[in-house]
Structures are given as C-alpha cells and as structure tokens.
A and B are shown apart, each in its own frame.
Chain A
Amino acid sequence: MSSFGADLSSLNWMATRLDAALGWARKFSIFQYPFVTACCGMEYMATATSHYDMDRFGAGFPRFSPRQADVLFVVGTVSHKIAPVLKRVYDQMTEPKWVVAFGVCTCTGGFYDNYATVRGIDTIIPVDIYIPGCPPRPENVLDGLIKLQEKIAQGARVTVPQGSSARPADFETPHTPETHL
C-alpha cells in the first residue's frame, strides 16, 4: 500500500505540472468573443488590428460563436435590454472561460447613471479583468490582456460569482445625485 501512496504523490506532482503547462498553453491561445455594443468598439478595433496587434499576445482570433470562445470581451455600454443577451452568451460559453470588462461603462456603468443602463456587468456575470477608461487606450487594453494572461497561467478563477461585492473597492465611488437637485 505504501508503494501505491508514493505513486499517488508522483501523480499529484504530474497533475500540477500538467496544470501549469495547460495554463501556459491557454494564455497564448485566447479565442475571444467580442461583445461590442458602443463606442468602445472603435478602440477595441484599434487594438485588434495591425497597428497595436493583439495577435502578439495570442489573442488575434475573434470567434463570433460563444461555443468556440474562451474569453468574453464585453465592450461598450450594456443596457437593460441587452443584459439578458449578454447573460445568455456567457452561459453558452464552455468552461474554462474568462470575462473582460472593457471601458468604464462595463466596469461600473460609467456616467450613464440612468434608468436604462446596467451599473457594471458584474451585477449580471462574473468579471476577471476590469479595464477602465472612456475608452481605454490600446496600451491600457494590452496591459489588461497581459494581466489576464497571468491570471490564466496561474489557473486562477473568479471566486465571487457575481454581485457588486466582487468589484474592486476603488470602483465604489460615493454617488449622490440628490445633492444637485
């Protein structure tokens, strides 16, 4: 039995090495699903095309089917009407999957503090990386992409499923529109 235990431990070692190898492979083969709804889309295109060349980081292949994608790029303002569609697209993606919130509209709702806009997509789906900016510059986007790659390589996943508690603390700005009335 003791020899069997030794086998198990070596199997464990093998498994962690396999995870690391998988993470390394995954981070350079990001198939992204661009969920583009608004003006941030222009900046997304600037990042994706040859001038900034997202393909350098292995994320050069957008798939327009959620079944073939593993990173969901949510780019642009998400209104209440499109929110169920976004949730559905997320649910259709196969594991493992990651979500990038691109632009302040997707991070917190941005300046659209009104009846029609979702105040941050993390109220609907979990988010791995937030890229703030209105719109974020391509350098900023690539920075976020590299951070996502680090996260993928570590095999880290979102632990808090959804809700504003998952949001970084510095996104919680006090907001009191009543004082202006």
Chain B
Amino acid sequence: MDSEQQAVPLIMRVQQRFPQWVIASHQYRGQETVLIHREGFLEMAQFLRDDPGMAFDFLMDTSCVDYLKFGKIQSSSPTLTTPSPLPYYMKPKPLTQTWTRLVSNDEYRFDVVYHFYSSIHNHRLRVKVPLRAAESNIPSVSGLWATANWFEREIWDMFGIRFTGHPNLKRILMYEGFEGHPLRKDYPVRKRQPLIGPVN
C-alpha cells in the first residue's frame, strides 16, 4: 500500500467503491463512520476484510441501538435537550457540536453498529446499518469474522435482530423461554417472566 492511498480517507474509498449502497458518511476527530444499506452490507464486509488496502482483520465490537423513543421522552432527568439546572457558580457549556443521525428515526428504528480494526494498517472504521422495524434482519458476518458469532447472538437476545445465515442463532445471555427482547425500548419496565412469575 503506497502513501498516497494512505492519505485518502477510508470513507472516501468505501464511497467510491460502493456508491449505490452508502447512505452517508462522516468523520469526527479522525474517527470515520459510514452508513450503509443492509442490502450491500455483506458485499462491503467482504471487501473490508479482503481488500489489501483495507485489511480489517479484527471485528472489535458489534452492537445495536433502538431509536424508537429517541428524543421523544419527557424526562425529569437531564437529556440532550433539557439539561439539569446548573448551580449559580457554573456556566453552561456551549453546544458546539450537535449530533444528527442522518437517517429518519421514524423510518429506521434500529442501527446495527460494527467497529472494525486493521492490525496491519492500524486504522479503524465504524459501519452503521440502519434497519426498519418491519424487516429487522441483516446478513450475518460470522463467516468472515468468527468473533461475530457471539456478538450477533447477544444482539438477537437483547434486540431481536435476526442475523440471516448465522449458524447458531440462540439466546446467549437470557435463557430459552424468556419472552421478548429486553433492551428494546418498548419492552415493559415491569414485565415479569413466566419462569418466575407472577406474569402481568
């Protein structure tokens, strides 16, 4: 890999390679993030791992976010829009950076987030895949990175995202017979499970 290729940001290279799949991309203090459609994700993951300029040999983390109630809850605790009252001797911090999601929360309920690292080039890339609530499934990458196997099981357990092609998509933290996916924002706070009861 030559130095001029090094200079091109990763998100630009991904954008050039998959213009039809990339929704958006941004960069913040050297952290590069790319949003991509689910349909092109597997192809892009293959590219990220096998392309010598990318060579992402390590899937650091996989997680999920549920945006169902994001920014819609009236809370007594401080939120992004309603800060807690500050004592008289403190000045409020100026909000220099505001964060936007780049896709609609109403249309895309979930984000599945991947963090990749290349131990060869020492660079990192964050990939977000927005998913609709009605079709909350995504191709599994456990065939590309073995570590994805348990990450994806955890996301299935907690958020109910289906990973198509996963060899063993079972619950990993909760037990068989658990009802619902507890980290979804519409999981009732006071729900009781049939194993323990009383069911409410």
CA separation between A44 and B64, bound complex, in Å? 39
Among A113, A116, A118, A119, contact of B182 (Cβ-Cβ < 8 Å): A116
B73 touches A83 (CB 8 A): no
User: Interface range on chain B: under 10, 10 to 19, 20 to 34, or 35 or more?
Assistant: 10 to 19
B77 touches A115 (CB 8 A): no
Query: From B178, which residue of chain A is reached at the shortest CB distance?
Result: A80
Inter-chain pairs besides A115-B182, A177-B189, 5 sampled, C-beta below 8 Å: A80-B178, A81-B174, A83-B196, A113-B189, A115-B174
A115 touches B191 (CB 8 A): yes
CA separation between A178 and B73, bound complex, in Å? 11
B77 touches A180 (CB 8 A): yes
Within the complex, the shortest CB–CB distance from A111 to chain B, in Å, comes to: 14
B75 touches A123 (CB 8 A): no
Within the complex, the shortest CB–CB distance from B66 to chain A, in Å, comes to: 14
Give the interface of B toward A (CB within 8 A): 73-77, 174-175, 178, 182, 187, 189-193, 195-198
Within the complex, the shortest CB–CB distance from B200 to chain A, in Å, comes to: 11
Majority SS of interface residues in chain A?
A: loop
Residues of A contacting B189 with CB < 8 Å? 113, 177-178, 181
Query: From B74, which residue of chain A is reached at the shortest CB distance?
Result: A181
A-B contact pairs, 20 of them (CB 8 A): A80-B174, A81-B174, A81-B175, A83-B195, A84-B195, A113-B189, A114-B182, A115-B182, A115-B187, A115-B191, A116-B174, A116-B182, A118-B196, A119-B192, A123-B198, A177-B189, A177-B190, A180-B77, A181-B74, A181-B75
Give the interface of A toward B (CB within 8 A): 80-81, 83-84, 113-116, 118-119, 123-124, 177-178, 180-181
Please judge, given known A-B contacts A115-B187, A116-B174, A180-B75, whether A80 and B196 are in contact too, CB under 8 Å.
yes
Residues of A contacting B193 with CB < 8 Å? 80, 115
Q: A-B contact count, CB below 8 Å?
A: 38
Query: From B173, which residue of chain A is reached at the shortest CB distance?
Result: A116
Among B73, B175, B178, B197, contact of A181 (Cβ-Cβ < 8 Å): B73
CA separation between A180 and B178, bound complex, in Å? 26
Within the complex, the shortest CB–CB distance from B54 to chain A, in Å, comes to: 38
3 tightest Cβ-Cβ pairs between the two chains A and B: A115-B182, A177-B189, A118-B196
Residues of A contacting B175 with CB < 8 Å? 80-81
> Which of B75, B189, B191, B198 counts the most chain A CB atoms within 10 A?
B189
Residues of A contacting B76 with CB < 8 Å? 180
CA separation between A81 and B172, bound complex, in Å? 12
